[in-house]
């Protein structure tokens, strides 16, 4: 799952003013928000993030038939040309995504144990 960092002006409860914050996403879920002035941060509960990621994966899997139907309607030729590659690579992409999530979780646990 893709990790993205963004910046936003938010109210920092530590600085007691609006400051620039770094917002880290894993997929579409916020993992951590850090004030760039005082480095105070809010970390989102890992179990809640994993649960949201799981829900995201389930949502993507259950919506796949509808998305594929739309692709067929939009451009049947392109859809048919892309299917062999997609069928072969999809399992690997899912395994990579799950491995990335597992690695992030293991990294966090090992850092917390130190």
pLDDT at 96 over 70: yes
CA triple 57-61-63, angle to 5 deg: 115
> Is the same domain home to 76 and 90?
yes
* Span 3-18, pLDDT tens digits: 899 999 999 999 999 9
The model's confidence at residue 108, banded by pLDDT at 50, 70 and 90, is low
> What's the pLDDT at 61?
86
> Is the same domain home to 81 and 111?
yes
> Is the same domain home to 52 and 103?
yes
Q: Are 31 and 44 in contact (CB under 8 A)?
A: yes
How many separate domains does the chain show? Answer: 2
User: Where in the sequence is the domain holding 99, given as residue range(s)?
Assistant: 46-114
pTM: 0.49
> Is the same domain home to 59 and 26?
no
> Is the same domain home to 30 and 72?
no
pLDDT at 95 over 80: yes
């Amino acid at each position: 799952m893709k990790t993205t960092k963004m910046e936003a002006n938010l109210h920092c409860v530590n600085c007691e003013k609006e400051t620039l914050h770094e917002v880290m996403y894993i997929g579409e879920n916020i993992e951590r928000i850090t004030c760039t002035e005082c480095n105070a941060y809010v970390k989102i509960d890992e179990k809640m993030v994993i649960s949201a990621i799981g829900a995201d994966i389930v949502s993507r899997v259950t919506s796949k038939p509808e998305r594929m139907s739309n692709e067929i309607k939009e451009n049947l030729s392109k859809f048919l040309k892309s299917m062999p590659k997609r069928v072969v690579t999809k399992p690997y992409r899912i395994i990579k995504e799950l491995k990335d999530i597992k690695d992030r979780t293991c990294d966090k646990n090992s850092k917390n144990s130190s």
